[in-house]
Structure 1
Amino acid sequence: MTDQLEPMPDDWQRALAIVAHPDDLEYGCASAVAVWTDAGRHVSYLLVTRGEAGIDTLEPAKAGPVREREQRASAAVAGVTDVEFLDHTDGVIEYGLRLREELAAAIRRHRPELVITLNYEDTWGGSYWNTPDHRAVGRAVMDAVGDAGNRWIFPDTEAEPWNGVRWIAVAGSDTPTHAVDVTDGLERGVRSLLEHRAYIEALTDEAPEAYARTLIEGFAQQQAERFGGRPAVTFRLFGR
C-alpha cells in the first residue's frame, strides 16, 4: 500500500511563493498555482535572482532581462500578476542576515497565510545534487517566516510584523505530505513552463512544446497513485 497524500489546506486567501530563479516555480508548482488563482486566491511571486547565469550561450547582462520577461509571462499564464525580483547574483546567493531580512520584509509586506518555496535539501530524489541557490533560499524562507512575526528581529523594515503565516509548503520535496489535484490546472502548467522558451531552447534539443508537456504531465501523473488517481502537485507542508 502506497502512503496517500493529504489534500493541501484550502481555507486561505493569500500566498507568497519565494524561489531563487525564474522557472523554479514552473517545473510543476505552476499547475497548482493556476488551480488556486482560478478559485479566487491571490498568489504573489518573489524571485531572489533574475536567473542571469542560467543560459550558457547568453551572457548574464542579456540573459537577465530575457529571463525576467519570460518569468512575468509565465506567471501571467498561471493567473499571477504580482512578480518581484530582489537582484541577488544568480549562482552565488548566500544564506545570511541580509537575505533573511529581505525575505522577512517581503512577507511583512505581502501578509500571506501560505508561503511556498522550493526543495532546499542537499539532493533531488537522493541522486542529484541540489544547487547552492536553492538550498540557501529555501532555508532562508523557513527562517524568515519566523523573523517576519517577531517585532524585535529586523525592526526597521517598512511594513509592520506579520505573524499570520499558517503554513510553509515546500515544492519538489523528496518527502511530500500533501498534494493539489491539478486536473484543471495541468494545461496551464504546461503553457507556463513553455513561456521559458529561451531557457528551454538552450537546455535541450527537444522541441520546447514536447519537453514542457512531457515533464509537467509526467510529474503530475507520477503522483496520482498517492492521491486517489488524480494528477497532482506535491508539497511538504509545515504548519505553524
Structure 2
Amino acid sequence: MSADELLPPLPADAFERVLCVVAHPDDVEYGTSAAVARWTSEGIEVGYLLLTRGEAGMDALAPDEAAPLRQREQVAAAEVVGVSSVEFLDYPDGLLEYSLGMRRDIAMAIRRFRPNAVVVGAWEVEFAGGMLNHADHRVAGLATLDALRDAGNRWVFPELVTEGLEPWSPRWLLVSGDAAATHGVDVTGEPLERGIASLEAHEQYLAGLPWHPPPRELIPQFTAEEGRRLGVEHAQLFRAFDFEAPLSEA
C-alpha cells in the first residue's frame, strides 16, 4: 500500500475522555481494548458502558450464574487496560430492542461522564471482515448514535437536567468494525500485549467456547491486518466522525 493510500492516525490531542458503549462483556476486547490501552497510557480517561451483563452468553451456566461471573471478568479485563469506570445496565442479553428508554440511559451516561469521544461498534448487518453482526450489537450502535444527539439537547429527556445533568455534546464518534474506516490507532507493542491480556481475562467465558481461537493468535491477526492500512505493525481502525469539522471535511 502506497503512502498516499494509508489511513491517517487520529489526532494526538483529539480527546481527553472516551466512553466506550457496547452490548456485552467482551465486546470491547476484540481489538478496541488495545487502542484503549494506548489511550490510557497517554493519560486519556476511558470509561465503559455495557447495556447488558452478558447473562445469556454461557450455555453451561444459567443466566443468574453467568451474569455475575461475566461482570467480574469484564471488570478484570478493563483493569488490564487502565479502565476503572465500568457501568452495567440491565437490558436483556440477546434480546436488545431499540427504545427511547435505552437512548435516555445512554444519554444519561454521556452527560455524566462528559467524554470528548464515544466509541461504539458498527450497526450494519454486515461489518468489517464480511461477518454478520449480532442483533444486540446493531441495536447498541444505533441507540448510541441517537443518544449522542440526545445528550446535547436539553429539550430531549428534560428530566435529566432536573436531575443535575446538563447537556453534553461529544466531539467525536468512533465506530469500530466499520468497513469504511477513516483513521487508526497504532497499538504495536505494549498496547497490543495489554489488549490480548484483556480478552484473556474472560477466561471462564472463553473456556465454554471450544471453537474460539486463543486470544494471542486471534487479536494479533486482526490488528496486523488493520496495521497494514495504517502503515504500522499493529493497529485498531475506526470510522471517525468529527462533529466540529467543517461540513466539507465531515
- Which TM class, normalised by the smaller chain length? over 0.9
3-state secondary structure, aligned to 2:29: coil
Deviation per residue, 1:29-78 (Å, 9 max, x gap): 00000010010110000000000101111111100000000000000000
Residue 203 of structure 1 deviates from its aligned partner by 1.2
User: Which residue in the other structure is 1:151 paired with?
Assistant: 154
Q: Is the contact between residue 128 and residue 177 of structure 2 (CA under 8 Å) also seen in structure 1? A: no
Supply the RMSD in Å over aligned alpha carbons: 1.4
**1:169 alignment partner in structure 2:** 174
User: Contact 2:227 / 2:235 at 8 angstroms: preserved in 1?
Assistant: yes
Residue 198, structure 1, aligned to residue 186, structure 2: no
Instruction: Output the amino acid matched with 1:108.
Output: R
Letter in 2 for 1:179: G
Question: Structure 1 residue 52 and structure 2 residue 55: aligned?
Answer: yes
TM-score by length of 2: 0.91
- For the 8 Å contact 2:76–2:201, the answer to whether it is kept is yes
Unaligned 5+ residue runs, structure 1?
A: none
Q: Which stretch shows the higher mean deviation, 73-82 or 149-158?
A: 149-158
1:98 corresponds to = 101
Number of aligned residue pairs: give it.
237
Q: Percent identity?
A: 48
SS in 2 for 1:46: strand
Code of the aligned partner of 2:203: R
Q: Give the structure-1-normalised TM-score.
A: 0.94
CA contact (8 A) 1:6 1:179 kept: yes
User: Offset at 1:225?
Assistant: 1.6
| 2:246 match | none
Decide whether the 8 Å contact of 1:17 with 1:44 is kept in 2: yes
Paired AA for residue 155 in structure 1: P
Partner of 2:186: 181
Question: Which residue in the other structure is 1:138 paired with?
Answer: 141
Shift of 1:126: 6.8
For residues 1-240 of structure 1, what are the structure 2 equivalents within 5 Å? 1=1, 3-11=5-13, 12-125=15-128, 127-157=130-160, 158-183=163-188, 184-204=190-210, 211-240=214-243
Q: Distance in 2 between matches of 1:237 and 1:159?
A: 30
- C-alpha distance in 1, partners of 2:229/2:129? 20
Extract unaligned runs of 5+ from structure 2: 244-250
